[in-house]
Structure 1
Amino acid sequence: MKVIPIRCLFLAGVLMCGACGPLFDDVEPTCEGWRPGDVVFTELLPDPEGTDTGQEWMELHNPGRSAVDLRGLLLYAARADGSQERAYFFEESVPVAPRGHVVLGDVRSEPLPSHVNHSYGDVLGSLGNSGGLVGLRCGSVVVDEVRYSGPLRSGVARIYDGRLVPDAVDNDEAGRWCDAPASSSDGGTRASPGAANPPCAEAATDGGVPAGSCLSSRTGAVRSLSRPRPGDLVITEIMADPKAVADAQGEWVEVYALRDVDLNGVTLANEESGRALLGDSRCLELKAGTHGVLARSADPRLNGELPSVLGTFAFGLSNGPEPHALRLSLDETLLDEVSWTSAATPGVSRQLDPSRRDATRNDAPEGFCPTPKDFRFGLGDQGTPGAENRPCT
């Protein structure tokens, strides 16, 4: 491993140094193909019981379907304002299995403890016990970065809520992290290194809004949630293989409401382990007779210029001819489900014929058809996100 001098500056993916030593190309190979969210931070232990030296660690999760290798990336830590950054360069292979975890630790001697997969030694120094940030980058691409704040409890890890699908955007929100529950243990430490996190306890409030309530963006007032029942929501359109933008930013799902409902607390899941819990202090309102768009990204600059996005999900939608499924549920009660086996057509969504717009008739695969070429949105892909579908012929 090498310590990268922090007085060197990144510019256009190259580390430019003055009197700080050799150029970036001389000290590390080029890392290519990494995108934000390819791996994400899911657990941190900045304040172990007893001495911190040699016992701190952090956990990364690979949410994708293919293994990745951290070789060539930089792991960094700093104060919460970004100052006093120190960085560790992965010279050797550190693989992370699909849907798997890797634990990186401040270990100063061999052998590694059973819960640590790779040691960064003393390169990062001590993580701040009152707050700080950790991140991972490939050149100028920040793969993930997380800020944490105190008060931290000695011997208690901070975990990303196990009810949520790990995501590089969602894990920026402090409210989605909590202290590891007392049921987890690792030599007296409350933590779950290298394993899926347990759920965080239900918070009494979310952003000052009482549990079971939400803040209406229309009225500005707090009101009770209008929870959907089976049949109230219908999956009506799916873009599994966008052409104008990358899948990781441009995939989306459209839902239709048969009565006024809020999507707060609703889970969108695929045929594998992908799950996204829709939640916010604001009301995710969907009025009867209207469509809502759930997407990989809410930023129109990244998602192909979708209309307003009601909620986001982090898992991918498969493009092949194998069996697929999408499910909407609330507290494990199924609201709607669709399944199909056909491969996605690049740049073309699958839409439900409006005559089959209920949670029973949309079960038949023949109820869906490709969006006609005359109906395009944003950057040119075929689809009608947030708008009326066209009849299948």
Structure 2
Amino acid sequence: MEVMQVLHMNKGDDENSYAKNSKVQSKIISLGKRINEEAIMQILCSNIPDIMGIADLGCSSGPNSLSVISEITDVIYAKCRELGRPTPELKVFLNDLPSNDFNFIFGSLPAFYDKLKKEKGSEFGPCFVSATPGSFYGRLFPSRSLHCVHSSSSLHWLSQVPAGLESNARTAMNKGKIYISKSSSLCVLEAYSLQFQKDFSSFLKSRSKEIVPGGCMLLSFMGRRSTDPTTDESCYHWELLAQALMSMVSEGLVEEEKVDSFNAPYYGPCAEETRLEIEKDGSFSVNRLETFEIDWDGGVDDVDTTSGAASRGQRVAKTIRAVVESMLESHFEKDIMDELFRRYGEMVEGYLSKTGTKYTNLVISMVRN
């Protein structure tokens, strides 16, 4: 599986699109808002540049894509007014893989610019938004061109399926599973950990060249509290998806070899291993590293399913489908998706009725040394 070609959130704005099913990601953005504001204020207190470079890595598409940029402009505007200083010109770069639905974002830019003009008026400096397609595990921007880098709900995606677990591997090392599970062998756990270390190191090295000294980087991504990668908080949403696939295998709807050869290019690290990679790189100082818990459905109030509203299991299934369907379609068959996620929703519903398991999200604020 070539991750750069098949990993993208569901496009458009239909029932299964990411635009309509990204409440969890919106919640994650809101959880990091206070930490983000604090980091940007720190930059502006020490120096307000004439031109300020801002990048959002893994911007995806839909209502969340410009929400962070809008919040950042709010902080800059408020601080500059407080100091009696003109706001800098803003160069905003929206990054994601080339297969991302950038056209959806472009369609919402006129409303974004109108909102800036209406709320902040002519005293707010020009804001130029552009797209930068490419993998953030390599260089994307000129040296020392950025003052603030933000990324939310993206860095848990790896650049590739870990070595030895690819679909063309001679031996299936993770039979019946599609990610780390309690039954996974030590070599599977090590393969995922090593791929995370390699990717996160490449990410830090690239950003260290692009961010000015004193600039900030604000990251939030799925992780775990425990050092054990097989805990339910880390991997059970994948475990249930594997169970849904295997239930279809038992009925002859999916080939077992197809399940055995699929492994998700995903890894939710713990805070300790994340901090270790940052310290090994040495280019950044960590100001904040905090963990937050998020409900699998984003914390939506329970609803009466008899009225036709979606159950928690269905809402979770839609959220996951909007994110992983492109990868599953490239490996399995498109025509099994409806049935797969129907079963997955039922399994999630049963699981959540018995447990309070939540996602764990890491939020990190750091400064370029």
Do both share a fold (TM > 0.5)? Answer: no
Higher strand share: 1
TM-score (norm 2): 0.28
Bigger RCO of structures 1 and 2 (CA < 8 A, at least 6 apart): 2
Q: Which is higher, the Rg of structure 1 or of structure 2?
A: 1
